[in-house]
Chain A
Amino acid sequence: MDCSASDISDDSLISAIRTGNDAAFAQLVGKYKRRVFGLAARFARDNDDLDDICQNVFIKVYEHLPSFRNDAPFEHWLTRVAVRTCHDALRSRRHEKNNVRLEDRAFEIQDNAEKARDEARQARETLKFALSLLSPNERLVITLMELEGLTVKETAALTDWSEANVKVRAHRARQALKRILEEHNAR
């Protein structure tokens, strides 16, 4: 009988990967790729960037799997790796100039049927633009807490920052976002 990846436990897959079984690694990737794609999509600029970030996440997992201890769930460890990789991606592009103005991203609303969907898309583009002006730390913390819905404690655990630090960064990020949106409205 053929078993799907979700039927096999993470421990069994990890043991098999440690013996050099690439098929087991492919199964593990298949099991968790949606989770990683969902998180990385919050930080990626485009599809190429998203694919690159996700590949880097799983390459890090593959390389560091021998040092993974089973004292925490694999998914939690994977999420930490994914958060760090997204943070690295944000930091690597912090010196890039953001020349795109919000007005250039405006969408035309074709008809009433698409109005609601376009509003959501416009909100996403507006927020994406405002987030791109934040520092990597601020963007990371506001994305994890406001878009992924994590608590302060969970965010602190994933980022290795103290809870007080997470609160301060989240507050600063929120103030910065409000300022950006107000400046945009004033134009």
Chain B
Amino acid sequence: MRDKADERLDHLFAAVRAERIDTAALEEYFETRLLARIREQRSESIPWYALAWRMVPAFAVVAATIAITTFTFAPTHSNDLLAALNADQDEMVSSSYLIGE
């Protein structure tokens, strides 16, 4: 149900709607100011954190390459004690040999 407060509110809305806000002075040279700001933004150097963020895919590729290389060229386990010693796996293989694995 509409009351006096509603009527007052509608009166205020109508008065504000009827009044044309004059923005003509601000609109002058707006394009010039806007384009100057866009050019300024373009010329600003990229901050280091933005650069680091953009480098994330490159870092991911490097990490993946290291992981693949590590698994691909990892030294294989050998049961031959002499061969293992020659291949610098002495500690691992000798411990396996001593505990009977």
Contacts and interface: CB of A to CB of B under 8 A. Distances in A.
A157 interface: no
Interface of A: 22, 25-26, 29-30, 33-34, 37-38, 41-42, 47, 50-51, 54-55, 58-59, 62, 119-121, 123-124, 126-127, 146-147, 149, 174, 177-178, 181-182
A55 B16 contact: no
Given A124-B19, A147-B13, A149-B17, A178 B5 contact: yes
Contacts of B16: 120, 123-124, 127, 147
Interface string B1-40: 0000110110111011111010100110011011101100
A174 B9 contact: yes
Contact of B31 (A30, A123, A147): A30
Interface in B47-101: none
13 contacts: A26-B35, A29-B31, A33-B31, A34-B23, A38-B23, A50-B26, A51-B30, A54-B30, A58-B34, A120-B18, A124-B16, A124-B19, A174-B6
Q: Is the contact region of chain A dominated by helix, strand, or loop, or is it mixed?
A: helix
Contacts of B12: 123, 126-127, 181
A178 B9 contact: yes
Contacts, number: 74
A51 B26 contact: yes
B17 to A, nearest CB: 6
Given A37-B23, A124-B19, A127-B16, 4 more contacts: A26-B34, A29-B31, A59-B34, A146-B13
B5 A26 contact: no
Given A29-B31, A33-B30, A178-B6, A120 B23 contact: no
A37 B27 contact: yes
